Amino acid sequence: MKRSERAVCQKLYKLYGLLRRHFGYASPWWPGSPLEIALTAILVQQCDWSAAWKGVCRLRETGLLDLPKLSAADYELVQRCIREVAFAPTKSRRLVHFAQALIDRGQEKIETYLTPATETSALRKDLLSLDGIGEETADCILLYASEHATFVIDAYTRRAFRRLNLWPELGEDFWSGSYGRLQDFFQRHLRADLSWYAAFPFAEGVPLEVALFRDFHAQLVELGKHHCLKSKPRCHAPGQQGWPGYPICEPHCPEGACSACPMADLCAAAGRSPVLLSPFIEK
């Protein structure tokens, strides 16, 4: 591994350790069955997670958490179930079309469609061909509803790394760049030596690469939700409350539980110099 590449890997390793010590670890971080996770991933676009999850719960109560039944469901019935999400009329059709697409492919269970035995790139390409599924949604489904190792890039990730400015040589525009370029950056450097992360406890039976990709993304979402806010970030203050009803992050960062963002001493935007990253543990 080149020295410059090794330095990037070291920073990511240290950053992950700081995040995990602050937020802890939860498995599963994204609750629900594979179908519930996939439907939530579609609904949560431009929407609060709590509203998306309530919609999925209503679909369950109505007996529509089943691909054959959902594929034959009336749009208006689905819309009533997901009424609190943004763009509910459009998303009700997307859910029905998603179920119909899988049924058309001969899949009555999402688990068989998402089987890890299928090549990730081929499955991802097929997901991207479906109505309303973009790269972030496809990768969330692949990573959390199955065990395909693909790193999720979202607004929280872009915002945090732009503010951290850990690699000034990349330029600020790098973090506004293409999804694929950022995904390659994280996947390449996290995969460079997975043994670095072997000492962290992860869910049993889950491949280390998958478990790491899941939790690294989860940590960045927690960071963005509690501290690295879009406006008025809480760099030197307790994190704000999480999504109501979300079993993992709701109790985190209540008053007195933490005093600052775990990245505050590293982040250029928090008024500190990235040179403070120099005492990283050598691996």
Q: Over the chain, what HEC string results?
A: CCHHHHHHHHHHHHHHHHHHHHHCCCCCCCCCCHHHHHHHHHHCCCCCHHHHHHHHHHHHHCCCCCHHHHHCCCHHHHHHHCCCCCCHHHHHHHHHHHHHHHHHCCCCCHHHHCCCCCCHHHHHHHHHCCCCCCHHHHHHHHHHCCCCCCCCCCHHHHHHHHHHCCCHHHCHHHHHCCHHHHHHHHHHHHHCCHHHHCCCCCCCCCCHHHHHHHHHHHHHHHHHHHCCCCCCCCCCCCCCCCCCCCCCCCCCCCCCCCCCCCCCCCCHHHCCCHHHHCCCCCC
Of 148, 212, 140, 205, the closest CA to residue 179 belongs to: 140
In angstroms, the Cα distances linking 122 to 55, 114, 118, 128, 173 are 30, 11, 7, 10, 30
Structure tokens at 224: 């963005």
Banded pLDDT at 250 (limits 50, 70, 90): low
Residue with more model confidence, 47 or 213: 213
Domain termination residue (choose one: 103, 127, 144):
144
Mean pLDDT of the chain: 91
One domain, residues 191 and 137: no
User: What pTM was computed for the model?
Assistant: 0.93
Sequence-separated contacts (24+) of 204-210 with Cβ below 8 Å: 206/27, 206/147, 207/147, 207/149, 209/149, 210/143, 210/147, 210/148, 210/149
Q: What is the mean pLDDT of residues 164-185?
A: 94
One domain, residues 50 and 86: yes
pLDDT at 48: 86
Q: Which domain, by its residues, includes 96?
A: 34-144
Q: What is the mean pLDDT of residues 73-95?
A: 97
pLDDT at 274: 46
Q: CA 56, 62, 67, 69: dihedral to nearest 10 degrees? A: -160
pLDDT at 259: 87
pLDDT at 37: 97
> How many structural domains compose the chain?
2
Q: What is the mean pLDDT of residues 100-117?
A: 96
Banded pLDDT at 257 (limits 50, 70, 90): confident
Domain termination residue (choose one: 92, 109, 144):
144
pLDDT at 240: 86
Domain termination residue (choose one: 113, 144, 175):
144
One domain, residues 21 and 62: no
Task: Determine, yes or no, domain membership for 243.
Answer: yes
Banded pLDDT at 273 (limits 50, 70, 90): very low
Banded pLDDT at 255 (limits 50, 70, 90): low
Of 57, 58, 40, the closest CA to residue 49 belongs to: 40
pLDDT at 2: 79
One domain, residues 210 and 192: yes
One domain, residues 177 and 120: no
**Does position 96 have pLDDT exceeding 70, yes or no?**
yes
Q: What is the mean pLDDT of residues 39-60?
A: 94
One domain, residues 8 and 99: no
pLDDT at 281: 38
Banded pLDDT at 246 (limits 50, 70, 90): low
Q: What is the mean pLDDT of residues 162-174?
A: 92
Q: What is the mean pLDDT of residues 30-39?
A: 96
Q: What is the mean pLDDT of residues 238-256?
A: 72
Contact, 151 vs 139, CB < 8 A? yes
**Does position 24 have pLDDT exceeding 70, yes or no?**
yes
One domain, residues 53 and 103: yes
